[in-house]
């Protein structure tokens, strides 16, 4: 084994083959699990957090979903085809995180043109929505009431995202790609502890919606770990979308079913639950469109880091933080200094996010200036090694950067639901997809479309309900057809036009910090990708306290950081990332969580023996 350094990257070579980026020896390759058979008893593939091999790779939180993507790659599909198949399967096995009732952001690398492109498939507010969407008598309604309501439901963007991606880069029909998920919904999957726990956490509200209770609480009981969970209604919905195309959801009977459910939520009248209706129209669905737009781009340690531009704040916030960290040699820093600098860069970037980022169709978002090194340098000089910035920190002005100056008043970070899901895919031709999709909160709105087998999102609760400070413009207030701000940050990293790594994570606003910490762990700290994903996390989002996972909370490093002035609170679990890494000779490494959400699922088409 030997080590070489190429432009700040440490490359390990074993037997003449480059196998990992990082300053530690590469992980042992793992055998990919085979997809479940088309017929016969339900068999869930084994979960492994890392796999190395040829022919393409898929990493997601769920083994059945990863297997669906691998099945498509084995049959000659490309990364986009496999991403759609994996996403559809996640709609079956991760119904509280994603599905056709939600939206997401799709980032694609084209191996032929060496270009990165994105699709904004974010949900949109009804045409009738205004800045007072969540106000009653001039005051914001309780957040919990908005979460479980028709008011929080935006026009879904996921099916339109699939159509746009397949029309542009795909090689298979939607009908073909929905078959694995349709089969999974019809034949069932094996309930694991995470699915049961998530159902239990929603039990109180699920039971109040007859269609939701019938699906997820059959006979009034929680699903049993090890049992088979089937969703024949969703199988039928997928079959309809495959047969008629996604217009069935935006213009057909399904569109009418969705609007009827949103505008008159089918709540059990005996439950006593007050569920506010929405105002989503068939016109809202018929006029929905995804946005094809350029990615954000930041240069870091000789790498080109591409991600999502607004309406998501993911790309600008991760990019700004990387630009701030560019001036510090994190590879040689102590663990305390590394985490201190990472935490403070996150704090500064979130301060600027809150003031400047919203839907660019409605707001003047200075995306280019937020990602400029000049602006980052003007903010980096606020950070000191022996002190902590006070939060909430006031934003800077990227249009007129002034060194070490903050302007105006702070804009606190709004709450975002954490139970999203992310998948990362690569194919044998070198194409890559990083795709994060969501229905917002765990279980979304809690409202299932009767007879259709999927939950509706509550993404509109990502809007600010009211300005935090009436004297400061809030770019994230609701508006007609407006997209709420997101933190989703599917990311693809290139070197000289070729992929190095791609990754992303769920986790609401912690997505930004998860992606940032994983990238710096991989690039700067020399961790193999699977270990960078598994590393204990800290998340600072311009708040008085930084969240720490238990391993950091119980460490000596916490004491060292507290001595500098940091204040912490515990978060049992932050994010659930997946990624793929390009290796020499057409090989790929797929990586997922080792423990979070019960561990993720990394697979390759032809695993190393």
Which entry of 261, 317, 328, 420 is annotated as an active-site residue? 420
Tokens 């708040």 belong to which residue? Answer: 543
Instruction: Compute the distance between CA of residue 499 and CA of residue 8 in angstroms, rounded to an integer.
Output: 16
Query: What DSSP character marks residue 375?
Result: H
Dist. CA 363–CA 413, nearest whole Å: 18
In 308-357, the DSSP E strands lie at none
Q: Are 538 and 573 in contact (CB under 8 A)?
A: no
Q: Is 420 a catalytic residue?
A: yes
Cβ neighbours for 253, distance < 8 A, ≥ 6 positions apart = none
Alpha helices in 207-270 (DSSP H): 210-216, 232-244, 247-250, 253-263
Q: Measured between alpha carbons, how far is 81 from 60 in angstroms, rounded to an integer?
A: 15
**Among all chains, which residue has been given the structure tokens 């609007």?**
259
Structure tokens at 311: 């309406």
Q: With beta carbons less than 8 A apart as the criterion, state whether 326 and 549 touch.
A: no
Find residue 331's DSSP bridge partners.
none
35-69 burial, b for 16+ CB within 10 Å, e for fewer?
bbeeeeebebbebbbbbbbbbbbbbbbbbbbbbbb
Q: How far apart are CA 435 and CA 456, in angstroms?
A: 19
Separation CA 343–CA 367 (nearest Å): 22
Residues β-bridged to residue 423: 435
Please, which residues have CB within 8 angstroms of residue 609's CB and are 6 or more apart in sequence? none
- Residue 233 in tokens: 């209604």
- Residue 448 is classified by DSSP as B
Active-site residues: which are they? 420
């Amino acid at each position: 084994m030997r080590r070489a350094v190429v432009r700040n990257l440490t490359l390990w070579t074993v037997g003449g083959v480059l196998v990992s980026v990082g300053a530690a020896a590469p992980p042992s390759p793992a055998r990919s699990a085979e997809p479940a058979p088309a017929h016969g008893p339900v068999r869930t593939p084994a979960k492994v957090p890392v796999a190395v091999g040829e022919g393409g790779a898929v990493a997601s939180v769920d083994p059945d979903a990863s297997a669906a993507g691998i099945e498509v790659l084995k049959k000659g599909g490309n990364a986009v085809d496999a991403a759609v198949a994996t996403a559809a399967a996640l709609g079956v096995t991760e119904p509280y995180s994603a599905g056709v009732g939600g939206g997401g952001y799709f980032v694609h690398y084209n191996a032929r043109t060496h270009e990165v492109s994105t699709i904004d498939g974010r949900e949109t507010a009804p045409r009738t929505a205004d800045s007072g969407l969540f106000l009653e008598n001039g005051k914001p309604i309780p957040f919990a009431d908005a979460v479980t309501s028709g008011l929080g439901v935006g026009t879904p963007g996921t099916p339109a995202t699939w159509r746009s991606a397949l029309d542009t880069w795909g090689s298979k029909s939607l009908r073909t790609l929905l078959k694995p998920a349709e089969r999974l919904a019809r034949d069932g999957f094996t309930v694991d502890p995470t699915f049961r726990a998530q159902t239990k956490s929603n039990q109180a509200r699920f039971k109040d919606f007859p269609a939701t209770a019938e699906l997820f609480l059959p006979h009034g009981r929680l699903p049993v770990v090890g049992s088979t969970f089937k969703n024949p209604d969703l199988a039928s919905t997928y079959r309809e979308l495959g047969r008629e195309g996604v217009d069935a959801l935006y213009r057909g009977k399904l569109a009418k079913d969705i609007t009827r459910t949103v505008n008159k939520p089918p709540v059990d009248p005996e439950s006593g639950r007050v569920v506010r209706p929405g105002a989503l129209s068939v016109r809202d669905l018929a006029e929905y469109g995804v946005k094809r737009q350029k990615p954000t781009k930041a240069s870091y340690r000789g790498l080109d880091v591409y991600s999502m531009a607004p309406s998501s704040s993911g790309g600008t916030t991760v990019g700004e933080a990387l630009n701030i960290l560019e001036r510090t040699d994190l590879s040689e820093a102590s663990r305390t200094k590394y985490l201190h600098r990472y935490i403070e860069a996150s704090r500064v970037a979130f301060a600027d996010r809150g003031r400047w980022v919203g839907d660019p169709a409605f707001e003047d978002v200075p995306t280019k200036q937020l990602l400029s090194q000049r602006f980052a340098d003007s903010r980096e000089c606020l950070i000191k090694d022996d002190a902590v910035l006070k939060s909430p920190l006031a934003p800077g002005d990227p249009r007129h950067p002034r060194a070490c100056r903050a302007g105006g008043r702070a804009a606190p970070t709004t709450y975002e639901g954490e139970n999203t899901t992310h998948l990362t895919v690569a194919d044998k031709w070198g194409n890559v997809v990083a795709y994060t999709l969501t229905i917002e909160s765990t279980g979304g709105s809690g409202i299932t479309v009767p007879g259709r087998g999927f939950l509706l999102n509550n993404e509109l609760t990502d809007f600010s309900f009211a300005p935090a400070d009436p004297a400061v413009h809030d770019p994230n207030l609701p508006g007609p057809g407006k997209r709420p701000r997101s933190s989703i940050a599917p990311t693809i990293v290139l070197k000289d036009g070729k992929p190095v790594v791609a990754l992303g994570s769920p986790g609401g606003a912690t997505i930004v910090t998860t992606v940032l910490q994983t990238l710096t762990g991989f690039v700067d700290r020399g961790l193999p990708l699977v270990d960078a994903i598994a590393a204990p996390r800290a998340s600072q989002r311009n708040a008085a306290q930084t969240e720490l996972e238990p391993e950091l909370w119980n460490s000596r490093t916490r004491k060292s950081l507290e001595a500098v002035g940091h204040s912490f609170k515990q978060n049992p679990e932050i994010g659930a990332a997946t990624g793929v890494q390009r290796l020499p000779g057409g090989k790929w490494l797929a990586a997922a969580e080792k423990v979070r959400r019960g561990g993720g699922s990394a697979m390759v088409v032809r695993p190393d023996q």
